[in-house]
């Protein structure tokens, strides 16, 4: 059993997805999904534990030796990302019961959970696999199921935004595949470890350069790098609340992981200096942080506001990668984790508001903070974490990112990071103003607090925000170990 | 025990009071500053260092020397007085944030490194804004937001400065920094924002008058005096501070004299008083630094006394406009008396606390040869008497009878004011006890012939000037008006400019669009005459623009890859 963990992480949700699809309506689909995700969390934790203590795990699928067969190759980095994904899924599911009941027609509930599990399978698969074509396969599994999930949103715009995401997501995936094809044509291998071995001999070839260009631009689209983010605000705004929580905390993060894997593991060391990607990421990261934060300030829908803030936060992660130093990548990995915590908490709290009033437009939430103090508290603490106030997880990310930028005397980046948190003060402030200081309308005077089943998962994440703001052993320790293991980082 | 930083007590109390109601909560609120002061006095030895490891960095949570000790005592005392004053307010938000606010200030005072300082610096900002927002008015909420932005900005400057300092020197210890290089300038500006340097001061005069009656008492004490402490530790003896200090002494006087909102007058007067301290720090001799520190001490007491008396009036009357007050002494005699004690102290009358501390800075100015500075400080002293010493009590409690007959302030407010007034007089009469606490060695005694006489002459003639101006009717009348300060630039000019700019841009865009659309329409018309047009070319805009972006990115990337990067 022990040695099969890496495979089980993919197989368990995949098989459960098939079972759930044929289950009758009622509580069963939810319960089986819950069990599957919880098993995955336990497995992912065990896997991380093993990798930290015992080094890289290599699992040969079907007994075929790599590089011919598919290999699952687990090091600290992807074990950590797998833990983030499954952890968030496990926290989301208790929340999903009520929220999905409210927002999704009952006859679609089994299919909803089935699609959720498929998406989960895809995301976990991306983290587990050591084969670049397999990454594409899982990327498509997760994307296709997330198109379905988004289209289940209760507003009619959900269909349009899902369709829009479908087109762009497919473009991204196609770019990725074209790139993989180019590289395969020159190296003859798809195994990432094998690629890392062969690539140094062929770095001069323009085909290789072009291949990486396609791969990276495709991934940039997947991770919603500014200005390729246009799909994200719509998708996050109109998806069912649960899906917004899950996708915002995991989907883009996994894409960021793939970028790190490609840049610092597959590519030979020193190669990154010969292609423009570092400067690209720094430049677009900075632009994304500033422009998207400003956009967030002017949104009239809370989910949209948070979605734009997500794009800005992705700017931070990409900036860390662009710095191409151990410190920068460490900061990105830390932020990967912390951002999942804060956005998860915030979107959950917003979901609780939607559960009560069926909308999350700024005009409709006036004064709700007084009626729903726990939900409001979660938004305040999540918001503080987003700003990066000391004592919250957000501060830890900001701290390491600023350190990484200063290390390379990247003053503009430092200024952008700090300006970003100043802008976050404004948009979080707007949110708090609307929720607490504006008078509530007559009809909403006697609103009840959200049910405990929604509040409990939200507050688990809120406490995680504070806990990981004070105790950084897991986040920083693991991230540093993961970044140091990436051998291609020169600086 | 002896290694526990005092802020822990406050934070524990803050958690405790959330769950407790009634008199027990009030007892906890009152006891916390007392216990903290006792803890500092009895348990903590000077020169102790207590560290805590986080983020791979040793944080020094407790660094005790004479400078941090005197500020520690001061903040406990002021926290105690302000808590008594606020005792009748039953608002859990203000009570909890008050504890966190005082606690973080103590945390910052005893912080031994820049990161600890930064953490408390930010906590201070976040917790204190509650006092402004709790007022609940539209103006208060807006002012609170502006306040918060300024405070967070200050924190960001501090963080950036601290990190660069760390990068260049490899140390985070918060000791004398001095103005060398970019890191120190960033930290200097961070301190300067909190200390209300000229042009950075608008958050203070903007937000303090909007705070709750009791909140303003808290606010007037901690934030700015913490900045004074930080400047005294980090930038003592920087000459530029003398000029900044002199500016801070003089310019607020004009605003304070014409201002109608009496709490705004006090806010300007607060900046003016900070000017004396900043100047003292800038001179940097033992005498001047002691002057700055002791002035901070006596200032905290009499300034909170004045804010308390105006808070009491606001609490009873509901507004604090000089033009609509007057004659209140008939029904609020005790408040009037305490206010006059505060006014005498701020004007530095001999035997009151302001005299024994301000004269140290003045003497230091003369000793170090800044005679023009000395003259400016004399002018500022006369101005203080005018706008704070006379104007505040005169327009609130005397002047023309407004017909208002409010009740005397509540007992707890009277007790707080009485205690503060007693301390003002005690320090003024027996300065040796305060002097014994001062961090630097010096020989100084304020009560000699020349000092007392010079100060009395100055005060009497300044008072005469006020009387003469009022009798002749040339004293600026108290009007309901809005006075423009530099904030006009960012609150009016900048938005207006941005508005104009946006209009210009959108006009330009419209023009360009119109032309391009016309051009496109022409080409489309000619295109439709061509046979390809029968195929579908419909595509929703955003998706299309995204495809445009992705191709732009790919092409740029490839071109750069091929031609630029080698």
The angle at the Cα of B245, spanning B65 to B490, to the nearest 5 degrees, equals 110
pLDDT one-digit tens code per residue, A284-328: 999 999 989 988 888 888 999 999 999 999 999 999 999 888 889
Q: Angle between the A326-357 and A393-407 helix axes, to the nearest 10 degrees?
A: 150
Whether B126 and chain A come into contact, CB under 8 Å, resolves to yes
Burial class, B562, CB count within 10 angstroms (exposed 0-12 / middle 13-18 / buried 19+): middle
Q: Which site among B151, B190, B546, B552 would you substitute to test the A interface, given the most A Cβ atoms closer than 10 Å to its Cβ? A: B546
Query: Would the CB atoms of B560 and A429 count as touching at under 8 Å?
Result: no
pLDDT of residue B50: 72
Asked if residue A289 lies in contact with residue A416, where contact means CB atoms within 8 angstroms, the answer is: yes
Based on C-alpha coordinates, what's the Rg of chain A?
Answer: 21
Q: Same domain, yes or no, for B262 and B409? A: yes
Residues ≥6 apart with Cβ < 8 Å to A404? A320, A323, A325, A327, A328, A330, A331
Asked if residue A157 lies in contact with residue A304, where contact means CB atoms within 8 angstroms, the answer is: no
Number of domains composing chain B: 2
- Residue of chain B whose alpha carbon sits nearest to that of A179: B554
pTM of the model: 0.71
The angle at the Cα of A155, spanning A154 to A158, to the nearest 5 degrees, equals 95
Please provide the average confidence, as pLDDT, over all residues in chain A.
89
- Residues A150-179 have a mean pLDDT of 90
Query: Would the CB atoms of B550 and A425 count as touching at under 8 Å?
Result: no
Q: Same domain, yes or no, for B206 and B261? A: no
Half-sphere exposure of A481 (CA within 13 A, CB side): 20
For residue B159, list chain A residues with Cβ-Cβ distance below 8 A: 402, 418
Q: Is the pLDDT of residue B14 over 60?
A: yes
Give a yes or no: residue A5 inside a domain. Answer: no
Minimal C-alpha gap between A75 and chain B (Å): 23
Give a yes or no: residue B481 inside a domain. Answer: yes
Half-sphere exposure of A105 (CA within 13 A, CB side): 6
CA-CA distance, A142 to A150, in Å (whole number)? 12
Whether B498 and chain A come into contact, CB under 8 Å, resolves to no
CA-CA distance, A204 to A184, in Å (whole number)? 15
Residues ≥6 apart with Cβ < 8 Å to B250? B272, B275, B376, B379, B380, B383
CA-CA distance, A351 to A354, in Å (whole number)? 5
Q: Where are the beta strands (DSSP E) in A139-255?
A: none
- Report which listed range, A10-19, A150-159, A223-232, B48-57, is most confident: A10-19
pLDDT band at A206 (very low <50, low <70, confident <90, very high): confident
Whether B162 and chain A come into contact, CB under 8 Å, resolves to no
Check residues A27 and B478 and name the one with the higher pLDDT: A27
Three-state DSSP at A267 gives coil
pLDDT one-digit tens code per residue, A342-354: 999 999 999 999 9
pLDDT band at B533 (very low <50, low <70, confident <90, very high): very low
Give a yes or no: residue B128 inside a domain. Answer: yes
CA-CA distance, A230 to A295, in Å (whole number)? 12
Query: Would the CB atoms of B557 and A175 count as touching at under 8 Å?
Result: no
Residue B398: Cβ within 10 Å count: 16
When CB atoms are compared, the residue of A230, A406, A425 closest to B149 is A425
Asked if residue A444 lies in contact with residue A367, where contact means CB atoms within 8 angstroms, the answer is: yes
Q: Is the pLDDT of residue A37 over 90?
A: yes
Backbone angles phi, psi at B63, to 5 degrees: -130, 115
Q: Same domain, yes or no, for B388 and B283? A: yes
pLDDT of residue A45: 92
pLDDT one-digit tens code per residue, B268-300: 999 999 999 999 999 988 889 999 999 999 999
Give a yes or no: residue B331 inside a domain. Answer: yes
When CB atoms are compared, the residue of A217, A425, A429 closest to B550 is A217
When CB atoms are compared, the residue of B56, B119, B554 closest to A390 is B119
Backbone angles phi, psi at A124, to 5 degrees: -65, -40
CA-CA distance, B42 to B2, in Å (whole number)? 9
For residue B562, list chain A residues with Cβ-Cβ distance below 8 A: 206, 209
Query: Would the CB atoms of B149 and A216 count as touching at under 8 Å?
Result: no
pLDDT of residue A170: 92
pLDDT one-digit tens code per residue, B389-445: 888 888 888 877 777 788 888 888 899 999 999 999 998 888 888 888 888 888 888
Lowest mean pLDDT among A183-192, A279-288, B543-552: B543-552
Q: Is the pLDDT of residue A176 over 50?
A: yes
Encode burial over A275-287: b for 16+ CB neighbours within 10 A, e otherwise: bbbbebbbbbbbe
Residue A20: Cβ within 10 Å count: 26
Minimal C-alpha gap between A110 and chain B (Å): 31
Q: Same domain, yes or no, for B317 and B213? A: no
Residue recorded with tokens 């005082």 = B102
pLDDT of residue B531: 42
Asked if residue A305 lies in contact with residue A294, where contact means CB atoms within 8 angstroms, the answer is: no
Tokens representing residue B29 in the block: 């609120």
Q: Same domain, yes or no, for B283 and B138? A: no
pLDDT of residue B536: 36
Check residues B259 and A43 and name the one with the higher pLDDT: A43
pLDDT of residue B76: 92
CA-CA distance, A386 to A67, in Å (whole number)? 42
Q: Same domain, yes or no, for B154 and B287? A: no
Query: Would the CB atoms of B156 and A418 count as touching at under 8 Å?
Result: yes
CA-CA distance, B423 to B434, in Å (whole number)? 11
Half-sphere exposure of A121 (CA within 13 A, CB side): 26
CA-CA distance, B149 to A104, in Å (whole number)? 41
pLDDT of residue B48: 67
Q: Is the pLDDT of residue B2 over 70?
A: no
- Residue of chain B whose alpha carbon sits nearest to that of A275: B561
Of B461, B485, B509, which marks where a domain is finished?
B485
Bridge partners, residue A333, by sequence = none
pLDDT band at B319 (very low <50, low <70, confident <90, very high): confident
Number of domains composing chain A: 1
- Residues B136-162 have a mean pLDDT of 88
Q: Same domain, yes or no, for B205 and B296? A: no
Check residues A307 and B499 and name the one with the higher pLDDT: A307
Q: Is the pLDDT of residue A487 over 70?
A: no
E strand or H helix at A55, and its extent? none
Please provide the average confidence, as pLDDT, over all residues in chain B.
84
> CB under 8 Å, gap of 24 or more: what pairs does B404-407 form?
B404/B317, B404/B325, B404/B326, B404/B327, B404/B328, B405/B330, B405/B331, B406/B313, B406/B316, B406/B317, B406/B328, B406/B331, B406/B332, B407/B316, B407/B331, B407/B332
Query: Would the CB atoms of B565 and A274 count as touching at under 8 Å?
Result: yes
- Residues A441-465 have a mean pLDDT of 86
pLDDT of residue A182: 93
pLDDT of residue B371: 85
Give a yes or no: residue A239 inside a domain. Answer: no
Q: Is the pLDDT of residue B255 over 90?
A: no
Q: Which domain holds residue B478?
A: 236-485
Q: Which site among A161, A210, A213 would you substitute to test the B interface, given the most B Cβ atoms closer than 10 Å to its Cβ? A: A213
Minimal C-alpha gap between B103 and chain A (Å): 15
pLDDT band at B55 (very low <50, low <70, confident <90, very high): low
pLDDT one-digit tens code per residue, A45-70: 999 988 888 888 888 887 788 777 88
Asked if residue B172 lies in contact with residue B57, where contact means CB atoms within 8 angstroms, the answer is: yes
Residue B333: Cβ within 10 Å count: 12
Lowest mean pLDDT among A240-244, B146-150, B326-330, B480-484: B480-484
Backbone angles phi, psi at A191, to 5 degrees: -75, 130
Q: Same domain, yes or no, for B202 and B272? A: no
Asked if residue A360 lies in contact with residue A301, where contact means CB atoms within 8 angstroms, the answer is: yes
Q: Same domain, yes or no, for B215 and B243? A: no
Check residues B7 and B502 and name the one with the higher pLDDT: B7
Q: Which of A80, A129, A87 is nearest to A479 (CA)?
A: A80
Give a yes or no: residue A199 inside a domain. Answer: no
pLDDT one-digit tens code per residue, B195-238: 999 888 888 888 888 888 888 889 888 999 999 999 999 998 88
Residues ≥6 apart with Cβ < 8 Å to A59? A3, A4, A6, A7, A71, A72, A73, A74
Give a yes or no: residue A299 inside a domain. Answer: yes
Peptide bond into B359 cis (omega under 30): no
When CB atoms are compared, the residue of B133, B148, B557 closest to A425 is B148
Q: What is the DSSP letter of A59?
A: E
pLDDT band at A240 (very low <50, low <70, confident <90, very high): very high
- Residue of chain B whose alpha carbon sits nearest to that of A412: B160
| ipTM for the complex shown | 0.83
Q: Which site among A429, A440, A467 would you substitute to test the B interface, given the most B Cβ atoms closer than 10 Å to its Cβ? A: A429
Tokens representing residue B244 in the block: 């900044």
Q: Same domain, yes or no, for B283 and B406? A: yes
CA-CA distance, B87 to B89, in Å (whole number)? 5
Residues ≥6 apart with Cβ < 8 Å to B138? none
The angle at the Cα of A246, spanning A40 to A30, to the nearest 5 degrees, equals 60
Backbone angles phi, psi at B261, to 5 degrees: -75, 115
Query: Would the CB atoms of B145 and A396 count as touching at under 8 Å?
Result: no
Of B422, B457, B485, which marks where a domain is finished?
B485
Query: Would the CB atoms of B123 and A391 count as touching at under 8 Å?
Result: yes
Give a yes or no: residue B362 inside a domain. Answer: yes
Give a yes or no: residue A7 inside a domain. Answer: no
When CB atoms are compared, the residue of A210, A213, A414 closest to B160 is A414
Of B485, B500, B520, which marks where a domain is finished?
B485
Query: Would the CB atoms of B553 and A228 count as touching at under 8 Å?
Result: yes
pLDDT band at B164 (very low <50, low <70, confident <90, very high): confident
Q: Is the pLDDT of residue B46 over 90?
A: no
Peptide bond into A67 cis (omega under 30): yes
Residues ≥6 apart with Cβ < 8 Å to A451? A98, A355
CA-CA distance, B258 to B167, in Å (whole number)? 48
Bridge partners, residue A74, by sequence = A57
Residue B295: Cβ within 10 Å count: 26
Check residues A396 and B512 and name the one with the higher pLDDT: A396
Q: Same domain, yes or no, for B264 and B367? A: yes
Three-state DSSP at B137 gives coil
Positive/negative CA dihedral, B166, B171, B174, B178:
negative
Q: Which domain holds residue A426?
A: 276-491
Query: Would the CB atoms of A402 and B566 count as touching at under 8 Å?
Result: no
Q: Same domain, yes or no, for B212 and B283? A: no
Whether B19 and chain A come into contact, CB under 8 Å, resolves to no
Q: Which of B256, B410, B283, B281 is nearest to B346 (CA)?
A: B256
When CB atoms are compared, the residue of A167, A276, A389 closest to B126 is A389
Tokens representing residue A368 in the block: 């709700």
pLDDT of residue A335: 93
CA-CA distance, A434 to A440, in Å (whole number)? 9
């Amino acid at each position: 059993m022990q040695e099969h963990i890496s495979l089980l992480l993919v197989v368990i949700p995949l098989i459960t997805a098939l079972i759930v699809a044929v289950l009758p309506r009622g509580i069963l689909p939810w319960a089986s999904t819950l069990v599957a995700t919880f098993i995955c969390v336990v497995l992912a934790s065990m896997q991380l534990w093993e990798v930290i203590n015992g080094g890289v795990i290599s699992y040969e699928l079907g007994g075929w030796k790599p590089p011919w067969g598919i290999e699952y190759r687990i090091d600290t980095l992807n074990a950590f990302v797998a833990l983030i994904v499954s952890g968030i899924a496990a926290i989301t599911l208790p929340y999903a019961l009520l929220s999905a009941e409210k927002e999704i027609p009952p006859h679609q509930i089994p299919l909803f959970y089935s699609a959720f599990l498929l998406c989960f399978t895809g995301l976990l698969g991306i983290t587990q696999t050591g084969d670049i074509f397999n990454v594409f396969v899982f990327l498509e599994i997760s994307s296709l199921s997330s198109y379905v999930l988004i289209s289940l949103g209760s507003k009619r715009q959900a269909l349009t935004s899902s369709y829009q995401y479908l087109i762009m997501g497919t473009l991204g995936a196609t770019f990725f595949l074209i790139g993989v094809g180019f590289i395969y044509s020159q190296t003859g291998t798809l195994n990432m470890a094998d690629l890392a071995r062969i690539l140094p001999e062929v770095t001069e070839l323009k085909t290789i350069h072009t291949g990486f260009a396609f791969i990276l631009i495709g991934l940039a689209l997947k991770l919603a790098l500014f200005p390729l983010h246009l799909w994200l605000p719509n998708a996050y705004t109109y998806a069912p609340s649960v899906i917004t929580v899950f996708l915002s905390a995991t989907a883009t993060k996994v894409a960021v992981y793939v970028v790190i894997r490609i840049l610092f593991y597959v590519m030979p060391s020193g190669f990154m200096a010969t292609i423009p990607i570092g400067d690209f990421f720094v430049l677009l990261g900075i632009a994304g942080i500033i422009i998207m934060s400003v956009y967030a300030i002017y949104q009239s829908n809370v989910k949209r506001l948070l979605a734009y803030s997500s794009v800005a936060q992705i700017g931070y992660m990409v900036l860390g990668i662009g710095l191409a130093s151990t410190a920068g990548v460490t900061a990105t990995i830390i932020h990967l984790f912390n951002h999942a915590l804060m956005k998860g908490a915030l979107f959950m709290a917003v979901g609780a508001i939607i559960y009560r009033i069926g909308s999350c437009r700024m005009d409709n939430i006036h004064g709700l903070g007084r009626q729903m103090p726990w939900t409001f508290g979660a938004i305040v603490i999540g918001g503080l974490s987003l700003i990066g106030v000391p004592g919250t997880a957000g501060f830890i990310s900001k701290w390491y990112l600023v350190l990484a930028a200063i290390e390379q005397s990247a003053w503009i980046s430092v200024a952008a990071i700090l300006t970003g948190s100043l802008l976050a003060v404004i948009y979080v402030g707007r949110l708090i103003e609307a929720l607490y200081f504006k008078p509530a309308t007559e009809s909403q005077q006697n609103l009840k607090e959200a049910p405990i089943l929604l509040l409990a998962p939200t507050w688990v994440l809120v406490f995680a925000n504070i806990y990981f703001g004070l105790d950084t052993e897991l986040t920083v320790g693991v991230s540093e170990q993961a970044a140091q293991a990436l051998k291609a980082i020169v600086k | 025990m002896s290694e526990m930083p005092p802020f822990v007590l406050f934070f524990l109390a803050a958690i405790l009071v959330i769950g407790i109601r009634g008199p027990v909560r009030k007892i906890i609120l009152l006891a916390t500053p007392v216990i903290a002061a006792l803890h500092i006095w009895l348990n903590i030895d000077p020169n102790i260092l207590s560290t805590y490891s986080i983020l791979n960095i040793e944080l020094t949570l407790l660094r005790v020397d004479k400078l941090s000790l005197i500020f520690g005592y001061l903040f406990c005392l002021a926290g105690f007085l302000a808590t008594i004053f606020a005792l009748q307010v039953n608002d859990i938000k203000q009570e909890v944030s008050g504890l966190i606010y005082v606690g973080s200030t103590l945390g910052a005072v005893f912080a031994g490194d820049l990161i600890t300082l930064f953490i408390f610096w930010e906590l201070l900002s976040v917790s204190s804004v509650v006092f402004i927002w709790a007022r609940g008015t539209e103006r208060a909420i807006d002012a609170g937001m502006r306040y918060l932005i300024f405070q967070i900005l200050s924190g960001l400057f501090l963080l950036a400065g601290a990190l660069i300092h760390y990068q260049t020197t490899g140390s985070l210890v918060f000791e004398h920094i001095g103005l060398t290089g970019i890191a120190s300038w960033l930290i200097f500006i961070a301190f300067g924002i909190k200390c209300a340097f000229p042009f950075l001061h608008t958050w203070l005069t903007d937000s303090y008058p909007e705070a709750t009656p009791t909140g303003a008492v808290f606010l007037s004490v901690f934030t700015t005096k913490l900045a004074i402490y930080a400047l005294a530790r980090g930038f003592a003896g920087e000459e530029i501070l003398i000029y900044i200090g002199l500016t801070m002494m003089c310019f607020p006087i004009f605003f304070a004299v014409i201002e109608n909102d009496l709490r705004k007058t006090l806010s300007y007067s607060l900046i003016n008083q900070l000017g004396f301290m900043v100047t003292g720090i800038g001179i940097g001799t033992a005498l001047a630094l002691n002057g700055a520190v002791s002035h901070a001490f006596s200032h905290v007491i009499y300034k909170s006394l004045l804010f308390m008396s105006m808070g009491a009036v606001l609490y009873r009357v509901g507004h604090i406009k000089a033009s609509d007050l007057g004659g209140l002494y008939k029904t609020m005699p005790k408040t009037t008396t305490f206010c006059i004690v505060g006014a005498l102290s701020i004007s530095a009358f001999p035997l009151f606390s302001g005299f024994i501390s301000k004269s140290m800075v003045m003497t230091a100015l003369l000793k170090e040869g800044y005679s023009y500075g000395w003259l400016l400080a004399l002018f500022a002293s006369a101005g203080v008497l005018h706008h704070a010493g006379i104007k505040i009590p005169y327009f609130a409690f005397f002047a023309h009878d407004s017909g208002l007959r409010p009740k005397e302030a509540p007992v707890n407010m009277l007790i707080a004011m009485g205690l503060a007034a007693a301390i003002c007089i005690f320090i003024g009469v027996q300065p040796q006890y305060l002097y014994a606490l001062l961090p630097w060695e010096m020989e100084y005694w304020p009560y000699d012939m020349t000092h007392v006489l010079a100060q009395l002459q100055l005060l009497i003639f300044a008072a005469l000037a006020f009387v003469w101006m009022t009798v002749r009717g040339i004293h600026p009348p108290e009007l309901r008006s809005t006075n423009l300060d530099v904030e006009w630039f960012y609150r009016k000019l900048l938005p207006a400019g941005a508005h104009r700019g946006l209009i210009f841009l959108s006009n330009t865009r419209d023009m360009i669009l119109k032309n391009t659309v016309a051009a496109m329409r022409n080409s489309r018309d000619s295109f439709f005459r061509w046979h390809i047009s029968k195929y579908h070319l419909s595509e929703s805009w955003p998706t299309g623009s995204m495809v445009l972006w992705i191709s732009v990115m790919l092409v740029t990337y490839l071109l750069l890859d091929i031609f630029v990067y080698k």
